[in-house]
Amino acid sequence: MASHGFWGLGAPENAGDNTSNQSPTTPRAWCQAAAQKLPGGIGSKLCALLSVAGEGEKPSEPTSTKLDETTVGTCGCNKPCNCLKATEATVGFSDLYSTDLLPALDGDMKTMTFLQEVVDILLAYITESFDRETKVIDFHYPNELLQRNNWELQDEPETLDDILISCRATLKYAIKTAHPRYFNQLSTGLDMVGLAADWLTSTANTNMFTYEVAPVFVLLEYVTLKKMREIIGWEDGRGDGIFSPGGAISNMYAMLLARFKMFPEVKEKGMSSVPRLAAFTSEHSHFSIKKGAAALGIGTESVICIKADESGKMIPADLERKILEAKQKGFVPFFVSATAGTTVYGAFDPLIAISDICKKYQVWFHVDGAWGGSLIMSRMHKWKLDGVERANSVTWNPHKMMAVPLQCSALLVREEVRGQRGDIPFTYHSSQCLLSLHFRIRGLLYGTIGFEAQIDKCLELSEYLYNKIKDREGYEMVFNGKPQHTNVCFWYLPPGIRYLEDKEEKKKRLHKVAPVIKARMMEYGTTMVSYQPQGDKVNFFRMVISNPAATFEDIDFLIEEIERLGQDL
Amino acid sequence: MASHGFWGLGAPENAGDNTSNQSPTTPRAWCQAAAQKLPGGIGSKLCALLSVAGEGEKPSEPTSTKLDETTVGTCGCNKPCNCLKATEATVGFSDLYSTDLLPALDGDMKTMTFLQEVVDILLAYITESFDRETKVIDFHYPNELLQRNNWELQDEPETLDDILISCRATLKYAIKTAHPRYFNQLSTGLDMVGLAADWLTSTANTNMFTYEVAPVFVLLEYVTLKKMREIIGWEDGRGDGIFSPGGAISNMYAMLLARFKMFPEVKEKGMSSVPRLAAFTSEHSHFSIKKGAAALGIGTESVICIKADESGKMIPADLERKILEAKQKGFVPFFVSATAGTTVYGAFDPLIAISDICKKYQVWFHVDGAWGGSLIMSRMHKWKLDGVERANSVTWNPHKMMAVPLQCSALLVREEVRGQRGDIPFTYHSSQCLLSLHFRIRGLLYGTIGFEAQIDKCLELSEYLYNKIKDREGYEMVFNGKPQHTNVCFWYLPPGIRYLEDKEEKKKRLHKVAPVIKARMMEYGTTMVSYQPQGDKVNFFRMVISNPAATFEDIDFLIEEIERLGQDL
């Protein structure tokens, strides 16, 4: 019989009790067998689908049975279940509430179907995010956005259908941060292994207080931090470290440790027991150094800014001068934060020279490698971090160049500071990123398909952009020379401004160009690049590349788009 | 024709170009149509499955075609695809690496199949987690655990197959925090809507720096915090607030704001510009108050502990006495932290009396409702928080009693503190929990199926436990009277200890009982409850219930299990 042969030959092996070594005799039986082979959500969904198909079924073959209460329990779901309910759930969640899901009795099938529905929405979104035909953003102003979905919180519970509608709306109006033409932040892109680990971490939903309550995660934290310390260059990966919810916190932890190391009594007695402290960092460093000093009761005025050269690197001679100056004024220098990859220029401070000064004056040497730390994974670019192994502590954010999902920041410390670690007020008890980072590292540590390749490619793309615009008409670079990181800082001068003689007028009009082009980018949704002023420099574009999805064509597109959107200004 | 009728009647509507208003004529066509109806991962997986089935297929009907390159592109996936690759991927990920997934060219199908495989693992884990037949934990010591899976980080990249194996191993050895018999932490349980939102948040992978880069999430933050303030009782939900990575940080933020409010110059000039400060909190309060003071440069010695009564509540008269004492010593009282739901006893400090004292001495009144704040959702229990609306700031952790996935802590502030908010060094830029909380609230705010029902049930269960053991032979309560929260603190005295006359000997032996029973619980994997000493009280069990999955039977089970495991001690 033709249809028998069709299904029989393709039937999965060991498909069920009633079919062992025998081909399923009906399409329904085959589909049931197939459903059994599929674990979890797919099996249940297929199973629900079969029930839908079965509802209109006429008993036309002896072996096929009409769908009724008795067949429901043997639908292929591996265990007694009630597929009719699942079917209802598939057909519409409009009568179901979150309380109908697990741990509700008989909540299994509804839960599987609901979560699978959510996953289908997410999978579709992921594919769309990488598609250049898709808008980076479908932008609306707050009031308009409020009207486009019911975001307000009502006192009446909403159905699962409403929740699913909100899931879709949330993604529709969110920025596609994985989009190959989204260049706005230092952290762009979405890695699939990292994402899978993040979903798993959410599902495990565990705190990391102790080994007792999170054996696997505590073990992974140990292994992963040790590996990071090895990469930094500390012998056998010795030292300590902690994951934190962001680079700003990691930097503050470093300052906290430096203070405690020099004045352990500060923990009990506070700053009144300590002389006036001074911290040092370059004028191009991240604002978190000042914010940390404000929080710790040190005060922003005790953070002394060191001059940077034209390309944004700290000038070591100025550091030494200011340390001496501070000492003369009665301050105690306790902390120097060098930046490996500044936020705007992507500059790397000269770590070896700075470490020499720190050693000479016995000051804690911290390296803020939140943005540039990942270059250590590249044989071609790691020289920019030469000297990092001399640091007392290092901030490193794998959620930036290493495409680990947000937020993944580590503070690595050269000395074991178990005693001090207790001084940190907020260990990151649910390290959302830990597993993602671990899996990312497992997936591609070194070698031709490793992080190195991804990082080198991002730097190659930025060099391509730099070479393309440095002598191009209508462009001016913010600083001379090849960028050290993927930051390319430039002005675009539309024809109407390009030839203005009045320098003040030119500056004034140029200041408005980047904001207008950016607003138009968002309106069209084609791409996004950030801009800012810096010191006496008017608004310029800061292009950064950290998304493994970006290509040379995307760089070409960016240039064309800036010119298209800015030519009339 | 029978088989035609079978499939035709059940065929989905508008199943594809070739089938509109016409039933698919073959089982294959029906399955293709079905695959088209399923978006994302399921469609592709079903499609891959069909290809597997099809590989051995013999062309037995005119309408069925042999699987070759030409059929691959029309397999039902909605767009041109290459199902053979997907099939390979389904069959084994042992030749694939993370770099084969998106954004790799042709990475779509592999990505969908890989992520679906992960989701299937997660869905199976979720079902298992709620199953009382499953172990709460499959416990192993670190060295043993290291051997049971290859957790070490190699320099060679691993295949996707290895990653999937690690996904399974991670879950196998993790604690099932959603298990109905896992009582170890204040945050237990897993809510499906919250989890779905968490998966979505991971996928959106966005920072929340500005509206520009996260329009939806910034809007939701505003709406959600406003709702929480309304619930606290602040008119029209006015005020300010922020989500943070945990209650300890929220408490520290509160202290930071209180200090800044009284001495705004502290931001620039540090603690040396400020008189010696004093903070006050009960001896039963959370350790984060002292840790916060250590970090902020105030010092732990400036945190003055107020006496608690026998049931763990702060004694207001002692607060006033110690404020006066501190003032006499030259300290400036700036911060009182009352606890609404202490960690061990679950006690609620008398907020109205404390607020009167704060008002009298013009001290910032903070309520640490990390654990007990959620009782405000219950009409039956909210009286325990009477006076919370007088607070200057409130910490509230919806990841505890409200089963939002970890970590979800909010600091709510009565005054708008936009200017001060800039003073906080670490806004939680990727608020992992925000969407989960929003969806949770959407799903069940009030009413019979709301949070109220879940919270009331947890309190009912703890009262059931309390009533069952308070006069039972072999049990002794740590404090008298019905617990205010779900914390039930008790000793179990095995027969061998129960009748000892020597009080010191009895105490000494009793101290060891809870640790041994707990170790045995973990060995068997049947349940988990925490224990600790407190002051001069030897180790006792602290039972807490926050998991909506727990039932009366689970409480009965716990008592039986403690007696079973402890009877020989």
B window 306-345, beta carbon within 8 A of A: none
Which residue, among B397, B442, B458, has the nearest Cα to B196 in the 3D structure?
B442
Task: Assign B469 a pLDDT band (cuts: 50, 70, 90).
Answer: very high
Q: Which phi and psi (to 5°) does residue B398 adopt?
A: -65, -10
Output the pLDDT for position A417. Answer: 64
Question: Does B295 reach chain A within 8 Å, measured CB to CB?
Answer: yes
Q: DSSP character for A431?
A: -
What number is the average pLDDT over the span B176-196? Answer: 94
Q: Which residue has the higher pLDDT, B449 or B358?
A: B358
- The highest-confidence range among A141-150, A402-411, B547-556, by mean pLDDT, is B547-556
Chain centroid offset of residue A411 CA: 17
Percent of chain A with pLDDT strictly greater than 90: 64
Task: Assign A232 a pLDDT band (cuts: 50, 70, 90).
Answer: very high
Q: Answer positive or negative: Cα dihedral of A250, A255, A259, A261.
A: positive
Which residue, among B157, B120, B39, B98, has the nearest Cα to A189 in the 3D structure?
B98
**Cβ B374 vs Cβ B358: under 8 Å:** no
DSSP A463-513: HHHHHHHTTSTTEEESSSS--SSS-EEEEE--HHHHT---HHHHHHHHHHH
Q: Give CA–CA dist A547/A185, Å, rounded.
A: 10
Output the pLDDT for position A406. Answer: 85
Chain A to chain B, count of Cβ pairs less than 8 Å apart? 548
**Cβ B363 vs Cβ B306: under 8 Å:** no
B window 56-95, beta carbon within 8 A of A: 56-58, 60-61, 64
The alpha-carbon gap from B471 to the nearest alpha carbon of chain A, in Å, equals 31
Angle at A484 between CA A478 and CA A490, to 5 degrees: 20
The alpha-carbon gap from A75 to the nearest alpha carbon of chain B, in Å, equals 16
Output the pLDDT for position A152. Answer: 81
Output the pLDDT for position A146. Answer: 87
Residue A47 has pLDDT above 50, yes or no: no
pLDDT in tens, A302-313: 999 999 999 999
Residue of A nearest to B197 (CA): A167
Q: Which of B6, B192, B270 sits opposite A60 (nearest CB)?
A: B6
Residue B406 has pLDDT above 70, yes or no: yes
All residues of chain A having their beta carbon less than 8 Å from the beta carbon of residue B266 are 294, 297, 299
Q: DSSP character for A340?
A: B
Percent of chain A with pLDDT strictly greater than 70: 80
How many CB atoms are located within 10 Å of the residue B331 CB? 17
Q: Which residue has the higher pLDDT, A246 or B450?
A: A246
DSSP A515-527: HHHHHHHHHHTS-
Question: Does B146 reach chain A within 8 Å, measured CB to CB?
Answer: yes
- Put simply, the answer to whether B61 touches A2 (Cβ < 8 Å) is yes
Output the pLDDT for position B545. Answer: 97
pLDDT in tens, A136-182: 999 999 989 988 887 887 777 788 998 899 899 999 999 999 999 99
Q: Give CA–CA dist A94/A161, Å, rounded.
A: 5
Question: Does B294 reach chain A within 8 Å, measured CB to CB?
Answer: yes
What number is the average pLDDT over the span B195-212? Answer: 90
Using the structure block, give the residue that is written with the tokens 């978006």.
B39
- The highest-confidence range among A36-45, A90-99, A205-214, B186-195, by mean pLDDT, is B186-195
Q: Which of B156, B272, B276 sits opposite A447 (nearest CB)?
A: B156
Task: Assign A449 a pLDDT band (cuts: 50, 70, 90).
Answer: low
CA dihedral A163, A168, A174, A178 (to 10 degrees): 120
Chain centroid offset of residue B517 CA: 26
Distances (CA, A) of B488 to B369, B371, B527, B563: 18, 14, 16, 17
Distances (CA, A) of A74 to A70, A80, A82, B178, B432: 8, 7, 9, 28, 40
Q: Give CA–CA dist B192/A350, Å, rounded.
A: 50
Which residue, among A524, A198, A323, has the nearest Cα to B115 in the 3D structure?
A198
All residues of chain A having their beta carbon less than 8 Å from the beta carbon of residue B142 are 211, 215, 219
Type and span of the H or E element at B541: strand B537-543
Q: Which residue has the higher pLDDT, B430 or A459?
A: A459
Residue B224 has pLDDT above 70, yes or no: yes
Using the structure block, give the residue that is written with the tokens 């057909």.
A91
Q: Give CA–CA dist B518/B527, Å, rounded.
A: 9
Q: Give CA–CA dist B251/B296, Å, rounded.
A: 12
For residues A340-350, one letter each, b for 16 or more C-beta atoms within 10 angstroms of the residue's C-beta and e for the rest, the string is: bbbbbbbbbbb
- Put simply, the answer to whether A151 touches B276 (Cβ < 8 Å) is no
**Cβ A406 vs Cβ B207: under 8 Å:** yes
Output the pLDDT for position A19. Answer: 33
All residues of chain A having their beta carbon less than 8 Å from the beta carbon of residue B35 are none
Output the pLDDT for position A328. Answer: 98
Q: Give CA–CA dist B477/B471, Å, rounded.
A: 9
pLDDT in tens, B56-98: 333 333 333 333 333 333 333 333 333 333 444 444 799 998 8
Q: Give CA–CA dist A41/A37, Å, rounded.
A: 12
Question: Does B104 reach chain A within 8 Å, measured CB to CB?
Answer: no
**Cβ B95 vs Cβ A37: under 8 Å:** no
Q: Which domains are delineated in chain B?
A: 2-91 (no CATH), 198-441 (3.40.640.10)
Q: Which residue has the higher pLDDT, A516 or B261?
A: A516
Output the pLDDT for position B84. Answer: 35
Task: Assign A416 a pLDDT band (cuts: 50, 70, 90).
Answer: confident
**Cβ B256 vs Cβ A295: under 8 Å:** yes
Residue B32 has pLDDT above 70, yes or no: no
Q: Which of B146, B175, B450 sits opposite A219 (nearest CB)?
A: B146
pLDDT in tens, A79-113: 333 333 334 444 479 999 888 999 999 999 999 99
Type and span of the H or E element at B64: none
Output the pLDDT for position A55. Answer: 35
Residue of B nearest to A291 (CA): B425
Task: Assign A38 a pLDDT band (cuts: 50, 70, 90).
Answer: very low
Q: Quote helix, strand, coil % in chain A, to nearest 5.
A: 50, 10, 40
Tokens read off for A3: 């249809």
What number is the average pLDDT over the span A532-556? Answer: 96
Alpha helices, DSSP H only, in B311-450? 316-328, 351-361, 418-421, 434-443
Residue B504 burial (10 A CB sphere; 0-12, 13-18, 19+)? exposed
Average pLDDT, chain B: 83
**Cβ A531 vs Cβ A542: under 8 Å:** yes
